[in-house]
Amino acid sequence: MNEHDIQGEELKVTLPSGEQVFAAAGDTLFDIAARHELAGVKTAIAARLDGEACDLHAPLKRAAHLSLIQPDDPEALEIIRHSTSHVMAQAVKELYPDAKIAQGPATDDGFYYDFQRAEPFSDDDLVKIEQRMRKIIKKNQRIVRHEVSREEALALFAEEGEPYKRYFVETKSGEVASYYEQGGFRDFCRGPHLSSTRRIAAFKLLSVAGAYWLGSEENEMLWRIYGTAFASQEQLDAHLHRLEEARRRDHRRLGKELDLFSLQETAGGGLAFWHAKGAIIRQQIEGFLREQLQTRGYVQVITPHIAKDTLFRISGHYDFYHENMYTLRTADDEEFVIKPMNCPGHVMIYKSGLKSYRDLPVRMAEFGTVYRYERSGTLHGLFRVRGFTQDDAHIFCTPDQLLEEVDDCLDMAETVFNTYGFRDVHYELSVRDSKNTDKYIGSDEEWSEAESALVKALEKRGLPHKRFEGEAVFYGPKIDVKVIDAIGRPWQLSTIQFDFNLPRRFDISYVDADGQHKAPYMVHRAIYGSMERFFGILIEHFAGAFPPWLAPVQARILPVSDKVSEYGEQLLSQLEDAGIRSELDRRADKIGAKIRDAELHKIPYMLIVGPREAENGSVSLRVRHDGDQGSLPTSEFIARAGKAIEERSLKG
């Protein structure tokens, strides 16, 4: 039975209140909602049928539950942004008819569209495109959905000379293809969309970048225009403020300005060089976590940077991850893999000797450097690199030790993130699809025990969490920990991941109290994730102004003139003897210039010294962010700074 066969047929519609009414097939969802005076019908931007988003003016085709999507609904932004992207593409075609349109999806924070054009778009072009978009929006053009046969869609886009649209029809559509049209502009799309262009309340075009067609470097380069849209101007303004703040905190810019790290194409993209000051911060980050490992009973190990392909064939990584691995062949024709992950090496250490249940748990940790291939177009500062160091740990334990081990992992994550000032922390639990268990490794009992341990540990610590059914990887359930930084951005960091796969593949075991050999439970655990990415996050979280315990230079001595240079040298020795990382500004500049330079370099403590300070053994203290603190004896400053550093205080 097709759509025409049911036209006019009475269909049952269940309203949000639970009331059931009848409507004729072919009536629009908006008309049905208006007829029954559903709340918010005038402000709705789309509808839901049986929970699935659809156009507000879509015809009713079946009996279903009907509800409305309002501008503040979680699904609304994607619809608003997708519709705005179509308006942007329409504006581009009107201004630059030679441009060919590729793809234009909504994203987590906006939208983009890819275009094929001989010349890249300039900033001036973005201004013109924005102006044309506002004209289109003002015209209140209807956005209409069309459904045609696949062949008709291909013919339509062939006539328009749009090869990329034809590609998506060929690869994405079934027998029926849908496209949306407004003001003569058409694009292949599943929708849903707003009902008219005037429903777009607030948008902004942001930037232009190159993007390979389909993300492959073997394909032609297209020009990608990024933009964003919101349900209100206030929301857009707040977002643009966050973007500006993010630019101010960009770790790539600050890393260069503060001489922390560099990425150099001569050596290859995605490989970080830690400069002296950055290395100091890394040592503090590692040292803090090593303290946690020591007190929590971890053994710290080191595994080789390369290993025979056999190791990764046994683990399964070679088959499923080969395209992301770096491999090499030796003179005697053996294949080696540059280490892409640490877990197989840790399993080999566990396997090197017989284990009793009395030896468990074994908590094995390593700051292990790994290398993974990433396409050059995906590399992004320290956030996406090819070589990085993981703060990896693997716990081998018995079933009755599970809860305590997971609880300790969560306790470590809480302790660490609180120290760095991440107060807003979110927890996500990924479990298997209970209706499709065949695709998962491990018995029902193992999955039940592992999931129960994760849930109980979260509940024991009173940690609210989101549960994601079917989101677990095939080898075990997991907890992901996300922190919210100083400007409200989420970052996924810690993972507590069960693994039923590797113990089986490597046939590892322990001798239980009953004398039987049993496979241990294996838990992957990382807190920082990777040192490079975590460092980048910290740079942006603190905007480069690290707390005293992390700062590469904790104090800088600023003599007012050469007359007190000798006192400055003496003071430098005192501070260094006290373990305070210090510098002496020996330049002949005026004190104001020295202070400004110290502030630009985000030094926590500035010690201004003149004849009076030299005479009575004191310093005039200036603290970053807090300004002048007055004069105090050198010994008092050393005690104050030492206490802040030892306690890892976020302030001086």
Residues involved in catalysis? 343, 372, 390, 392, 394, 478, 524
Contact 559, 568 (CB under 8 A): yes
**What type of residue sits at position 109?**
D
Distances (CA, A) of 495 to 209, 430, 536, 595: 33, 11, 18, 42
SS3 call for 306: strand
What is the DSSP pairing of strand 306-308 with strand 272-274?
A: unpaired
Residue with tokens 């929590």: 296
Q: Which residues contact 488 (CB under 8 A, 6 or more apart)?
A: 242
Count how many residues are written for the chain.
652
Tell me how far the alpha carbon of residue 54 is from its chain's centroid: 29
Residue with tokens 């003179």: 331
DSSP states of 223-278: EEEEEEEESSHHHHHHHHHHHHHHHHT-HHHHHHHTT-EEE-TTT-TT-EEE-HHH
* Tokens, residue 117: 């054009």
Rounded to 5 degrees, what angle do the CA atoms 105, 106, 110 make? Answer: 130
SS3 call for 76: helix
Rounded to whole angstroms, the Cα distance separating 54 from 32 reads 14
* Tokens, residue 556: 């800088």
Distances (CA, A) of 228 to 202, 453, 619: 9, 41, 51
- Radius of gyration (C-alpha) of the chain in whole angstroms: 30
Rounded to whole angstroms, the Cα distance separating 523 from 360 reads 13
SS3 call for 302: coil
Rounded to whole angstroms, the Cα distance separating 255 from 395 reads 35
Cβ count near 610 (within 10 Å): 16
In the DSSP assignment, the letter for residue 148 is: E
* Phi, psi of 310, rounded to the nearest 5 degrees: -55, -40
Distances (CA, A) of 381 to 174, 261, 286: 40, 10, 20
Contact 456, 416 (CB under 8 A): no
| Cis upstream peptide for 16 (omega within 30°) | no
Tell me how far the alpha carbon of residue 585 is from its chain's centroid: 39
Contact 354, 362 (CB under 8 A): no
Distances (CA, A) of 292 to 159, 282, 287, 589: 66, 16, 9, 44
Q: Sign of dihedral through CA atoms 151, 153, 159, 161? A: negative
| Cis upstream peptide for 192 (omega within 30°) | yes
* Phi, psi of 199, rounded to the nearest 5 degrees: -70, -10
